[in-house]
Amino acid sequence: MSRPTAHEVLAAVLQIRDGHLQVLAWQRAREPDAGRWALPGGRLRDDEDVEASVRRQLAEKVDVREIAHVEQLAVFSDPDRVPGPRTVATAFFGLVPSDADPALPADTAWHRLADLPPTAFDHALIVRDARERLRAKLSYTNLGFALAPHEFTISELRALYVGALGHPVSATNLQRVLTRRGLLQPTGAIAPPGPSGGRPAGRFRFTDRSLRVTDAFAVLRPPGEVARSAVP
Amino acid sequence: MSRPTAHEVLAAVLQIRDGHLQVLAWQRAREPDAGRWALPGGRLRDDEDVEASVRRQLAEKVDVREIAHVEQLAVFSDPDRVPGPRTVATAFFGLVPSDADPALPADTAWHRLADLPPTAFDHALIVRDARERLRAKLSYTNLGFALAPHEFTISELRALYVGALGHPVSATNLQRVLTRRGLLQPTGAIAPPGPSGGRPAGRFRFTDRSLRVTDAFAVLRPPGEVARSAVP
DNA sequence: GCACGTTTACGACTCATAGTCGAAAACAGA
DNA sequence: TCTGTTTTCGACTATGAGTCGTAAACGTGC
């Protein structure tokens, strides 16, 4: 009754580079959509689930050890989303810390989201969803850890948040809020001052490098709890 | 290279009934997993995307007009999640307002999440994810609208939140927070008092019956904005 | 060395939001 | 009319967040 339906995975891997949010893409050499930029991914194999599949396929483009966070985004299943056999895609979103600069194949490059070249198929939708997910989760999780190096100064962290959110962020409040919620720790180390001098900045790290959600509505959390629960 | 992979959709439809969170399920008559309870769903057709598919298949179990909210949950893709041909499932989660009591087929019934009968395949995982999604979204969205009737008293609304969250909720704070964020409106109407008397309660409604997110980290929203953005 | 510009750190003040408590209002039933 | 119930609403307090200003710690040029 049905023609064969393939299943693929795709990943929008984001990183703050040069203060701007960028996405990893490769340029298609063959039709359809030759010359356009596509997200890493490919067909789901019989012996792997979608998480394993996206990690395997990302490994073909970058050193997966550089990827600090990967999560499911959504399913894209429009019957005509790609030409040829019907293909349902599970989209993922990944984050690479700003200090990583993984080696890339010749056809692969980073592109600013604000200045994206022509993209293949419906991949621009996936990139848009990934950006929205990132912006939302920065607000109620510790997801900043996946954008930041292991150690950083508050100024550096602020620059990452500005790049990801696209609007000014107060360094004082950022530090206070993250500290109060127990997400941030001073390392004791001191960063060397910049070229134009200035007081040397203290270095910090995130206490957790796995996703944690913080509170929203205080009313709606169990009474007496501090509301800081881990997420699998 | 690959054996055929089917794609199905499944939905965990939740409702607060008798003050408890319940899920819609039907009892399988045939093997595999005969006698166990399964979520509504079925195979994805060639001409529909997953959203259309889940709505079509839910319509076989309930009046879809009663379903106030549906959203994607996650993909379940373990190669052995079901016996037989490999099947990747896109799981959804749906909400039915507490005043709806849709007619159900003979094999279909509501079950309390706290007291779930044996479930088929990996459907218990989907139910668990749905509950977690509901609890989280109640805290930073207006998702309560999908649990509540069009009009309700604060006490009724509080009971719904208690049922969904599983812990006590302050009626005063619930009203104040929802009102402050512009999610709640008094209708002017007055509800009749209960059997044991008491002051008649004012009736309220949600200003929006589509999903809206409210703020989390105030630091991380654009300066000067009230942070109340619609979500598609 | 010393003044100057620069950058970070941090305390002080103020406003907004949330948690708690208790009194008053509005009903039913005896 | 009195009592018990339920809802409503104000007052008070605690905490979190926004803003500002000043001090600390550097490099540079004189």
Interface probe, candidates A138, A217, A225, A229, chain B, greatest B C-beta count within 10 A: A217
Question: Would you mind telling me the total number of residues written for chain A in this entry?
Answer: 232
Judged by C1' against the alpha carbon of A195, the nearest nucleotide is D27
Pairing between β-strand A152-153 and β-strand A202-206 as defined by DSSP bridges: antiparallel
Better-predicted residue by pLDDT, B38 or A218 = B38
Contacts of B90 in chain A (CB under 8 A): 75, 77, 88
Distances (CA, A) of A14 to A131, A173, B173: 8, 25, 39
Fold of A5-137: Nucleoside Triphosphate Pyrophosphohydrolase (3.90.79)
Say what the pLDDT of residue B232 is.
28
Q: For chain A, what is the HEC assignment?
A: CCCCEEEEEEEEEEEEECCEEEEEEEECCCCCCCCCEECCEEECCCCCCHHHHHHHHHCCCCCHHHCCEEEEEEEECCCCCCCCCEEEEEEEEEEECCCCCCCCCCCEEEEEHHHCCCECCCHHHHHHHHHHHHHHHHHHECHHHHCCCCCEEHHHHHHHHHHHHCCCCCHHHHHHHHHHCCCEEEEEEECCCECCECCCCEEEEECCCCCEECCCCCCCCCCCCCCCEECC
Per-residue model confidence as pLDDT tens digits over A101-115: 999 999 999 999 999
pLDDT classification of A190: cutoffs 50, 70, 90: confident
Residues 151-170 of chain A in contact with strand D via CB under 7 angstroms: 170
Domain segments of chain A as ranges: 5-137, 141-206
Are residues A89 and A10 in contact, defined by beta-carbon separation less than 8 angstroms? yes
Interface probe, candidates A51, A75, A170, A173, chain B, greatest B C-beta count within 10 A: A75
Say what the pLDDT of residue B2 is.
53
Say what the pLDDT of residue B149 is.
96
Subunit contact A216:B173, Cβ cutoff 8 A: no
Rounded CA-CA distance A24/A133 in Å is 16
pLDDT classification of B167: cutoffs 50, 70, 90: confident
Say what the pLDDT of residue B226 is.
33
Judged by C1' against the alpha carbon of B219, the nearest nucleotide is D17
What mean pLDDT comes out for the span A129-155? 91
User: What's the CA B155/C1' C28 distance, rounded, in angstroms?
Assistant: 19
* Per-residue pLDDT at B98 exceeds 90: yes
pLDDT classification of A196: cutoffs 50, 70, 90: confident
* Per-residue pLDDT at A2 exceeds 60: no
Q: Which of A228, A224, A219, A230 is nearest to B161 (CA)?
A: A219
What mean pLDDT comes out for the span B86-113? 96
Say what the pLDDT of residue A189 is.
82
* Per-residue pLDDT at A3 exceeds 90: no
Per the structure block, which two tokens stand in for B194?
A: 């209960």
Rounded CA-CA distance B25/B12 in Å is 8
Fold of B141-206: Arc Repressor Mutant, subunit A (1.10.10)
A105 burial (CB, 10 Å; 0-12 / 13-18 / 19+) is: exposed
Say what the pLDDT of residue A216 is.
54
* Per-residue pLDDT at A227 exceeds 50: no
Per-residue model confidence as pLDDT tens digits over A52-73: 999 999 998 899 899 999 999 9
Better-predicted residue by pLDDT, B228 or B173 = B173
Rounded CA-CA distance A71/A69 in Å is 7
Q: Which of A140, A182, A160, A156 is nearest to A96 (CA)?
A: A160
Subunit contact A215:B3, Cβ cutoff 8 A: no
Q: What SS3 state is found at B48?
A: coil
What mean pLDDT comes out for the span A43-49? 96
Q: What SS3 state is found at B212?
A: strand
Pick from A3, A5, A140: which is nearest to B7 by CB? Answer: A5
Contacts of A78 in chain B (CB under 8 A): 49
What mean pLDDT comes out for the span B24-44? 96
Average pLDDT, chain A: 88
Count CB-CB contacts under 10 A for residue B81. 16
Subunit contact B2:A43, Cβ cutoff 8 A: yes
Count CB-CB contacts under 10 A for residue B83. 10
Contacts of B222 in chain A (CB under 8 A): 165, 167
Judged by C1' against the alpha carbon of A197, the nearest nucleotide is D27
Q: Tell me the sheet residues that pair with A71.
A: A93
* Per-residue pLDDT at B217 exceeds 70: no
pLDDT classification of A131: cutoffs 50, 70, 90: very high
Say what the pLDDT of residue B19 is.
92
Q: Tell me the sheet residues that pair with B91.
A: B10, B74
Lowest average pLDDT, out of A202-206, B37-41, B62-66, B210-214, goes to B210-214
* Per-residue pLDDT at A183 exceeds 80: yes
- Distance between terminal CA atoms of chain A? 39
Proximity of residue A195 CB to strand D below 7 A: yes
